[in-house]
Structure 1
Amino acid sequence: MDAFKLMKELRVNYEQEAHYLPKETGLSLIESTTEDDSRISAKCRDAKVEDLWSLTSFFGYSTQTFVLAVNLLDRFLAMIRIQPKHLSCVSVSCLHMAAKVTEEECNLAPTGDLIRIGQCRFTVSDLCRMEKIVAEKLNFKSKAITALTFLHLYHQIALSHSTDRKEKLSLEKLEAQLKACLCRISFSKAKPSVLALSLLRQEIEGVRSEDMLEIAYHIQRHLKITDGELLLWSERVARCLSDYASPECSKPNHKKLQWIVSRRTAQNLHSYRVVPELPTIPEGCWDESESEDSCEDMMSSGEESLSSSLGSDAEGPFFPLHLRRQKHRQPLHA
């Protein structure tokens, strides 16, 4: 695609991106929710997104699948008040919906496998019912304009000006960094075009290319993104990636799943469990004064986070060397 068509497509996506943004008021309410509250907190949401990243890596799904799943999840959470016990069902439903749109049919994981590997306590019928609720509430058809949409366009525009920059500007690296940012709910408030440009500028500054910096500036002017807005999110992106690279940060393992488990856990993973269906989920919106859920809690209080055992891109060559941790594998219990 030539530069003119790319810039035209860029403008069209920029004008439509607002339709796929989560409601900021809903996101703010999630951020203000305390962990001991009966509603979804920011920490709870972020942990679940890391689980989605892990599942995405395990099943070999694309970055597009993960980003779309997070977009659907955030838009739904910002619109509908749900309790933590329903979050697993909502998040896995969003991942399954995204995969059906972006992946080849032959690569789709069986629904039952998705539930078992995700260590979820709901049935296939629960998942199907939740998918229908999410699709109806979001009026979801087959696409969404996300930061990844702009990241790909920016990358193509940069390469269209010169072919010798392919090694300097890695799209794979930019995608990995975008996934790291999306694990924090605060970045869901950013316009996708601005978040993607912030990531691009940081990478360009890293390779110290004046020519490519000029390309980024040209994109900024074309979309009329203000210096203040870009600076704000560029600083947040830099801080996020710096924190993410620190050894203190708990992050998913980047490799494919190599799960060492006990015999009991292995039996649970490899056999279908008969579990009762989740009770009906109240669909109260964030702007309603009350939305009490009297359902019994079907989730296990001891349910582990997948991010401690499944794979992602967190420790790939796109982050500093000190980020990469040694794997400590424990023997299989007899």
Structure 2
Amino acid sequence: MVLPLSLLHSTRSFRACFGTARTIAAASSRALTTSAKPSLAQIVGRLRRETQAPITRARAAAEKFPNDYDAALRWLQEEMGRVGREKASKLAERTANEGMVAVLAGPGARGVLVDMACETDFVAKNAVFRQLIERTAITAMLAGDFSAASTTAVSVGGLAKPISPEVLLEAPLLELPEAAPSVDMAAEPKRVADGILDAVSKLGEKITLRQVLLMDGEASMTSHVLRQAAGYAHGGADPGAGRLASLVVVEAEAKEADAETVATAGFRQALTVLGRDLARQVVGFAPTCIDVPAGETSEEAMGAALLRQPSLQGGGTVAEALEAFAAKHKIEAVRVVDFVRLEAGSK
């Protein structure tokens, strides 16, 4: 999953969109009271669209507050939270060995991997679970400054660090602005922990946030050097989540006199595609380093180095593919700065 550039200039821009969506939702809610009275079936349908609650609970909310949609929605959300807490308590001793890793990359050298656990592969592929893990990834990217939460690097280049799941659980569970009108935005955003409880109440399985890795680096070192993060996930129904996922940061360098080359939208897109291909390589070949140490020639060491592996895109090794990219775009060089690979449930 890739976030548009406009969303990542600042968290303020996201919150502005978020506030606009809340206004739209509030206006839509008021419209129910000023237009013809909706039928019970219409109210139930809208409640289910906004909360994904079971039809029995949505109907109970509609019958309890037939003339006040906002009250029905609040009651239903509170009820779902209560049911989720009760189920989570009962499921606490159960083992959650399945799950998915969501990957999210944005413009610049910034990205996130989120590993969320559940009990069965069936639930891992469920739309409710997938939406939860993707929204959690968005939260890790946009909801706050988590970069100081850890000082221990977990990637070969040192840009990726773990975020404490306990810290992220207390953050507001965000949604992409284009999806906001389809969810309840009239109330304050729920925490990630509340979103997990909602999913537990709907799916009936133990769900936990296992790991979160944040890749956080500078987008541009100078005007003629550009860094870009890209991600890839394998083994899932959506391109943004799977059993295995990776993030890669690539760096393109042009001559100072040709700085405009790396600033164009077309080049940025090409660099993103290259990064995604490299992320797929990392998932498939599981390298443990970018290149071999000077003087190292053993077959084992060469096979573990990303640049020495045969490129999945053909044309020789990964190093040769990078040289070809630089020549095609008439730049000085393109390099792999960092990468990290995460498998669901790994430690």
For the criterion TM > 0.5, the same-fold answer is no
Higher helix share: 1
TM-score, normalised with respect to structure 1: 0.30
Higher strand share: 2
Bigger radius of gyration, 1 or 2?
A: 2
Which one scores higher on RCO, CA 8 angstroms, separation ≥ 6? 1
